[in-house]
């Protein structure tokens, strides 16, 4: 989740993140959303993307598009804060 320096940058921020959709095998879903007017929020952009395993997550984070296109560093200049929660689910999910 990101809080931006200028919330008006949210559509650009989202478009840049969306360019990472489907980068690697094992990416099960890739959803980017921006703040909705009149709904409570303490961030401007959120990314939800589950992966098959930690290797698929690492492959995405280290993919050349993520770095060569300056997705990570370029967006860093637009944000005020960034919050991340990577976690693993084990066992039966029922």
SS3 assignment, position 87: coil
pLDDT grade for 70, boundaries at 50, 70 and 90: low
Round to whole Å and give the CA distance between 37 and 58: 34
21: phi then psi, degrees, rounded to nearest 5: -60, 130
How do residues 12-28 score in pLDDT, each as one tens digit? 999 999 988 888 999 99
Tens-place pLDDT, residues 43-69: 999 999 999 999 999 898 888 776 555
Residue 4: exposure state from Cβ atoms within 10 A (0-12, 13-18, ≥19)? buried
CATH of domain 2-82: 3.30.70.100
Q: What is the pLDDT of residue 90?
A: 77
pTM: predicted TM-score of the whole model, two decimal places: 0.84
Contact yes or no for 56/88 (Cβ under 8 A): no
């Amino acid at each position: 989740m990101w809080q931006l320096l200028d919330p008006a940058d949210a559509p650009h921020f989202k478009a840049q993140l969306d360019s990472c959709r489907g980068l690697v095998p094992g990416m099960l879903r890739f959803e980017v959303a921006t703040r909705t007017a009149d709904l409570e929020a303490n961030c401007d952009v959120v990314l939800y993307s589950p992966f098959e395993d930690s290797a698929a997550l690492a492959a995405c984070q280290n993919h050349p598009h993520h770095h060569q296109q300056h997705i990570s560093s370029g967006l860093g200049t637009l944000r005020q804060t960034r919050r991340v929660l990577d976690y693993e689910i084990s066992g039966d999910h029922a």
